[in-house]
Amino acid sequence: MERKSKINYYLDIAQTVTTRGTCLRKNFGAIIVRNDVIVSTGYNGAPRGRQNCCDMGDCLRDRLKIPRGERYELCRSVHAEANAIISASRENMLGADLYLCCVDPATGDLVPGTTCCQMCKRLVINAGIRRVFVRENGLDYSVYDVEDWVTNDDSLGQMGY
């Protein structure tokens, strides 16, 4: 019997967390792990007490044909990474790893090539998280060193500096 790697074990859990997502476009699941202890989980959905897009049957960003990665201020959802960070104390996130998975709610298929948006990158940096693992398919994943997000500040290019 071949034992599953810890990384894929945690990515499996993040993938399960996606099943709580309420977005009509993409469902994300995130877990924060420090010293082999799950600190918190998060999925994307409307803030507590507000209606979810899946309950309303409508996505404003879809209706307006807004491309992926643009105009997040129009989205009803709090992102999975943000919800996981909100649910954890900073001391439990310092040096931790974040595991992220994205699933297409229409097909149930994994969505490769995803990563944290600019807003969530800033949250991950400030939380003190060390690395982000993103599932690409059943066994493959990408690894992002958060320090690279600090030194290679890709938000500067978008602002024209």
Active-site residue (options: 70, 81, 91, 147): 81
Verify whether residue 81 is a known catalytic residue. yes
CB 54 within 8 A of CB 22: yes
d(CA 147, CA 141) in angstroms, rounded, equals 19
Per-residue 3-state assignment (H helix, E strand, C coil) for the chain: CCCCCHHHHHHHHHHHHHHHCCCCCCEEEEEEEECCEEEEEEECECCCCCCCHHHHCCCHHHHCCCCCCCCHHHCCCECHHHHHHHCCCHHHHCCCEEEEEEECCCCCCECCCCCCCHHHHHHHHHHCCCEEEEECCCCCEEEEEHHHHHHCCCHHHHCCC
Catalytic sites, residue numbers: 81
